[in-house]
Amino acid sequence: MSTKTRRSYTETFKEEAVRLVRESGQPVAQVARNLGIDDHLRYRWRAEQQPAEGRGQTRQSFRAEQAELIQLRRENASLKQERDFLKRAAACFAKESR
């Protein structure tokens, strides 16, 4: 039984692959073959890089910002649940003290 190891690529390699397709005028599939990668990876890297470039960031900083945003939204939802629980508990205790 053989196991495949997942290849990892540097951010610089990913940026260069996106730039190469943009500037060379060659089809994505051909550039991907020349680089030895699957073309779906190249499409994903481009999809990740476009919003980052629009904001003047690198892919890595954009991804870090998105991860932080997701974490903060989860924390916010948790805090809202705790607040609502405490409101209900306070209303219950106020009702009992009357």
Q: Scanning the structure block, which residue is given the tokens 């948790």?
A: 78
Of 87, 90, 94, the closest CA to residue 79 belongs to 87
Fold held by 11-97: Arc Repressor Mutant, subunit A (1.10.10)
Quote the CA–CA distance of 88 and 40 in Å, as a whole number.
50
Q: Give domain limits for the chain.
A: 11-97
Residue 38's pLDDT is: 87
Residue 90's pLDDT is: 92
Taking the complete model, does pTM exceed 0.85, yes or no? Answer: no
Quote the CA–CA distance of 57 and 13 in Å, as a whole number.
17
Quote the CA–CA distance of 17 and 45 in Å, as a whole number.
8
Range name among 1-5, 6-10, 49-53, 61-65 with the lowest pLDDT average: 1-5
